[in-house]
Amino acid sequence: MFEDRDKINAIYHLNQLEEFMKLKGVPESLQLAIAFKSISDPVAKQWMSAVSHTLNYYEQFKVAFTKTFWSKMTQSRVKCSIYQDKYEKQSNLSMSGHLIEYAVLASYLGMSDAEFIDAIKLHYPVNIQRCLVGSLGYRAGNHRRFEAP
């Protein structure tokens, strides 16, 4: 469900939607209707109401949805949050959960590993920054994508 456009990445939503439709064997004739039903965010529903009459196929929906909810402006805002946000103890996320949330966002931006690590480490206190940098393998000549152990 695309229920909170500020928390759910539009590309992630489309990937999940396509995986669901493939898994369930949804025929092309029903894909657009299912895509419409997958949206519950109020603003996204308004958008859908405004453009639904112009969309005849799921592929058209994907293009329009991406242009609206993963625009260059949205991508810039997400990248800015990766650079400027901080981990807050009061949040419902653990430190590792916070890291994973931002790693997912970065993966849809095409950020290099080094760029992501340089940005995300600043979310944490200095003692955690040191551990984070070491555990992610950010050493001279070893700039690799974050991989779960």
For the stretch 84-142, pLDDT in tens is 999 999 988 999 899 888 888 888 898 888 889 889 999 999 888 877 666 555 544 44
Quote the pTM value: 0.71
Per-residue pLDDT at 2: 55
Average confidence score pLDDT of the chain: 85
Report the pLDDT averaged over residues 39-63: 93
**Side chain identity, residue 147:** E
**Of 140, 136, 133, 131, nearest to 149 (Cα)?**
136
Contacts of the segment 113-119: beta carbons below 8 A, 24+ positions apart: 113/138, 113/143, 113/144, 113/145, 113/146, 114/138, 114/143, 116/82, 116/146, 117/146, 119/82, 119/83
**Of 124, 121, 117, 118, nearest to 146 (Cα)?**
117
Which pLDDT band holds residue 15 (cuts at 50, 70, 90)?
very high
What is the number of helices (H) and of strands (E) in the chain? 8, 0
Which pLDDT band holds residue 80 (cuts at 50, 70, 90)?
very high
Report the pLDDT averaged over residues 71-78: 92
